[in-house]
Every structure is written in structure tokens, then in C-alpha cells.
């Protein structure tokens, strides 16, 4: 597959979050085609577990799907080079009003590998301390604490479809099962 090569990349649109590019691709047979590419600075997300075992979740409106979704706390990095744990800690406190005493990387995720370079670093947040929520001026979200089993059921029923939330919760679920086996 190394015969496929990008020979040009032209920015088409630059927004607050994404830059869309038109990539010219050289195919193995010598023809060229055009592929869309979205550049993103990356993000971090957090499976935040309170001492009682409940997981902090946020309800927020998502324009792309035109509805309120239930998600783990997350947000964009300030710069592509920002460490994931710094972003995760900031977003956890901003969105939920909790600070983590311990952050552990669960996994790294590429959200839409076919057309976007967005990566999300997913962390487990433990030893939580209540602080104060600091939402951005255009953010509106409600925080709720839920049982892991209930969240896994919502994934299986299709109620939770957000890939970072599914990946983060299932990675934590797997970790819980591993801990029980030991």
C-alpha cells in the first residue's frame, strides 16, 4: 500500500476546531483522486470514578447529531503538543467541578481514522476532590454520577454511541474485571 501517496494538500476551510483540506492522492495505477482530510489538535477524555464507584458523566447538546448526549468529560487540547494528562485534568475540573488526585492513561484513540487525525487520550481519574465547575461561556452541561453497569447497558442498547465514551467506559469495565480476577 506504500504505492498510494499524497502529492498535495490544500486547506479549504479553517474553523475554530478543525481545518479541512483537499488532498490530492496518487494511486498505484497512476491516476489521481481527491480525499478529504480534517486536521485536529487532539483532545483528552476522562472516566472519573468517585470513591463510591459511580462515574461522572455529562449531558450536553451536540450539534452534529442534533440532540443531547451522555458522555464522559472531555475537551480539546489547547495546542497539539499539550500533554494529554494536562488537558484531561483541566477538562475534568471545568466540566464536572472535580479534581483528580490520580490520573492513569487507559488508552489512546483515533476517532475517525479514514479522514481525520484527531486523537483522544483517555484517562482514568481517581481520588476525586470536589471543587467548582468552570464551563466555557458557550458550554451548557449537566453532571450526573452513574453506576458502571448502567452505563454498559446504555452502550449495549445504543443509547450511548459516542466513540470516546464507549471506548473509555469499556476500557474501564475491562480493568474492573481484571482487578476482580486478581
Question: In CATH, what number is assigned to the domain containing residue 165?
Answer: 3.90.79.10
| Confidence tier at 101 by pLDDT (50, 70, 90) | very high
pLDDT over threshold 90, residue 177: no
pLDDT at 2: 62
pLDDT over threshold 80, residue 182: no
Q: Let me know whether 115 and 32 are in one domain.
A: no
Would you say 97 and 133 are in contact if contact means Cβ atoms under 8 Å apart? Answer: yes
| Confidence tier at 1 by pLDDT (50, 70, 90) | low
Q: Let me know whether 80 and 166 are in one domain.
A: yes
Average pLDDT over residues 54-62: 96
How do strand 43-49 and strand 119-130 relate by DSSP bridges? parallel
Q: Let me know whether 27 and 84 are in one domain.
A: no
Quick check: pTM over 0.95? no
Q: Let me know whether 60 and 81 are in one domain.
A: yes
Q: Let me know whether 31 and 119 are in one domain.
A: no
Q: Let me know whether 177 and 142 are in one domain.
A: yes
Q: Let me know whether 12 and 53 are in one domain.
A: no
Number of domains in the chain: 2
The Cα 133–Cα 111 span in angstroms is: 27
Computed over every residue of the chain, the mean pLDDT equals 94
Residues labelled as active-site residues: 137
Q: Let me know whether 86 and 128 are in one domain.
A: yes
Q: Let me know whether 81 and 160 are in one domain.
A: yes
pLDDT at 138: 84
Q: Let me know whether 51 and 34 are in one domain.
A: no
Average pLDDT over residues 48-67: 95
Q: Let me know whether 31 and 79 are in one domain.
A: no
pLDDT over threshold 90, residue 172: yes
Average pLDDT over residues 160-177: 94
> What nine digits make up the cell of 169?
467506559
pLDDT at 16: 86
Full residue range of the structural domain in which residue 72 is found = 41-181
Q: Let me know whether 84 and 21 are in one domain.
A: no
Average pLDDT over residues 24-43: 95
Average pLDDT over residues 156-182: 92
The set of residues, in sequence order, having a beta carbon less than 8 Å from that of 3 and lying 6+ positions away, is 27, 28
pLDDT at 66: 94
Amino acid at each position: 500500500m506504500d504505492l498510494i501517496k499524497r502529492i498535495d494538500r490544500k486547506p479549504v476551510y479553517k474553523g475554530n476546531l478543525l481545518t479541512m483540506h483537499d488532498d490530492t492522492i496518487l494511486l498505484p495505477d497512476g491516476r489521481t483522486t481527491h480525499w478529504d482530510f480534517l486536521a485536529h489538535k487532539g483532545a483528552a477524555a476522562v472516566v472519573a470514578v468517585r470513591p463510591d464507584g459511580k462515574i461522572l458523566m455529562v449531558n450536553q447538546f451536540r450539534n452534529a447529531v442534533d440532540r443531547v448526549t451522555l458522555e464522559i468529560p472531555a475537551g480539546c487540547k489547547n495546542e497539539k503538543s499539550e500533554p494529554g494528562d494536562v488537558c484531561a485534568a483541566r477538562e475534568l475540573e471545568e466540566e464536572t467541578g472535580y479534581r483528580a488526585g490520580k490520573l492513569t492513561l487507559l488508552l489512546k484513540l483515533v476517532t475517525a481514522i479514514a479522514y481525520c487525525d484527531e486523537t483522544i487520550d483517555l484517562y482514568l481519574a481517581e481520588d476525586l476532590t470536589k471543587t467548582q465547575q468552570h464551563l466555557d461561556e458557550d458550554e451548557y452541561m449537566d453532571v450526573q454520577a452513574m453506576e458502571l453497569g448502567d452505563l454498559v447497558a446504555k452502550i449495549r442498547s445504543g443509547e450511548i454511541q459516542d466513540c470516546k465514551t464507549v471506548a473509555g467506559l469499556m476500557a474501564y469495565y475491562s480493568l474492573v474485571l481484571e482487578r476482580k480476577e486478581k
